[in-house]
């Protein structure tokens, strides 16, 4: 099975690295194209044996599965470029959340899926969000799920939930790392503890907390109840957080959704789709 990647920027190269290091693919299975020749040469240096293609059309022609790893507003230009090269039996995968299945199904003859990956795949962890188009059959879905299972946990969701699910699986590492970064800075300033030590403690704590929530059958509230003894230090600090963070998470969701809706509207215009009467929850 040949797997092509059009776009080898941050996430495209991450996926290639993860699939190859996990054993999901061999270098001879991978085709890649990118506007920057230097990025392709760096990729080839890391993974001798992959096929560096001279154009996006070449990648599209030679692949059974094609991952489209470009920015949202570049999709229309890309689909115009490769549409005539694609076949009905091929699977085309978008990794960009605002690009809708109907955008690609209206522009391409292939089977369409949307997969939202995460930086956590670098360590073979995290969740891949999977949204499958109407042309995919059961076998196609199994092929994609099996491939993704090498680098994390694939989870099928409704397209209407793409944005909120991505807030956790894809954006979440950045949000949590910001919280941890500020907490570490405050700890170092207040106590003089070594930053490397406290950073290690924070990382191990996050890893263990994740396992408690996924393997230990704890809900977030149950975990708080177990750690925060009434009248104790943790309970006092939690009360401070509850007061200080009032409304923060609601505004966070509003911010990500507003940007997502803005991008969807722009894509609808590019692909010639009408969104005037469309419910935002259906985007």
How much of the chain exceeds pLDDT 90, in percent?
94
Alpha carbon of 168 to those of 22, 117, 144, 189: distances in Å? 24, 11, 21, 30
Residue 277's pLDDT band (cuts 50, 70, 90): very low
Buried b (16+ CB within 10 A) or exposed e, 138-150: eebbebbeebbeb
Four-residue CA torsion sign, 120, 123, 127, 130: positive
Query: Are 283 and 88 contacting, i.e. CB atoms less than 8 angstroms apart?
Result: no
Chain centroid, CA 107 distance in Å? 23
Whether the per-residue pLDDT at 281 is higher than 70: the answer is no
Residues with Cβ within 8 Å of 186's Cβ and at least 6 positions away in sequence, in order, are: none
Residue 276 confidence (pLDDT)? 46
Residue 117 DSSP code: -
Residue 275 confidence (pLDDT)? 54
Residue 273 confidence (pLDDT)? 81
Q: How far apart are CA 257 and CA 259, in angstroms?
A: 5
Query: Are 281 and 257 contacting, i.e. CB atoms less than 8 angstroms apart?
Result: no
Residue 124 confidence (pLDDT)? 96
Counting runs of H as helices and runs of E as strands, what totals does the chain give? 12, 8
> pTM to 2 decimals?
0.92
What's the first-to-final CA gap in the chain, in angstroms? 32
| Cα-only R_g, the chain | 21
């Amino acid at each position: 099975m040949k797997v092509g990647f059009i776009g080898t920027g941050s996430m495209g190269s991450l996926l290639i690295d993860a699939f190859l290091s996990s054993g999901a693919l061999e270098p001879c299975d991978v085709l890649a194209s990118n506007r920057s020749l230097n990025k392709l040469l760096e990729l080839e240096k890391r993974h001798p044996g992959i096929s560096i293609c001279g154009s996006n059309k070449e990648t599209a022609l030679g692949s059974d599965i094609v991952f489209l790893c470009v920015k949202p507003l570049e999709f229309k230009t890309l689909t115009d470029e490769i549409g005539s090269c694609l076949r009905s039996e091929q699977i085309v995968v978008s990794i960009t959340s605002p690009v809708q299945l109907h955008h690609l199904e209206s522009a391409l003859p292939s089977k369409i899926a949307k997969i939202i990956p995460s930086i956590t795949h670098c360590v073979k962890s995290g969740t891949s969000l999977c949204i499958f188009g109407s042309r995919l059959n059961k076998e196609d879905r199994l092929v994609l799920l099996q491939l993704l299972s090498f680098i994390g946990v694939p989870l099928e969701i409704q397209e209407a939930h793409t944005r909120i699910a991505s807030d956790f699986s894809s954006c979440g590492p950045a949000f949590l790392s910001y919280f941890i970064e500020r907490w570490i800075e405050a700890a170092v300033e207040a106590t003089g503890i070594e930053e490397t030590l406290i950073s290690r403690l924070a990382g191990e704590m996050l890893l263990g907390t994740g396992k408690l929530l996924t393997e230990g059958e704890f809900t977030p509230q149950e975990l708080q109840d177990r750690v925060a003894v009434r009248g104790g230090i943790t309970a006092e600090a939690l009360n401070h957080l509850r007061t200080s963070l009032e409304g923060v998470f609601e505004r966070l969701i509003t911010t990500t959704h507003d940007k997502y809706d803005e991008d969807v509207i722009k894509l609808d215009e590019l692909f010639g789709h009408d969104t005037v009467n469309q419910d935002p929850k259906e985007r």
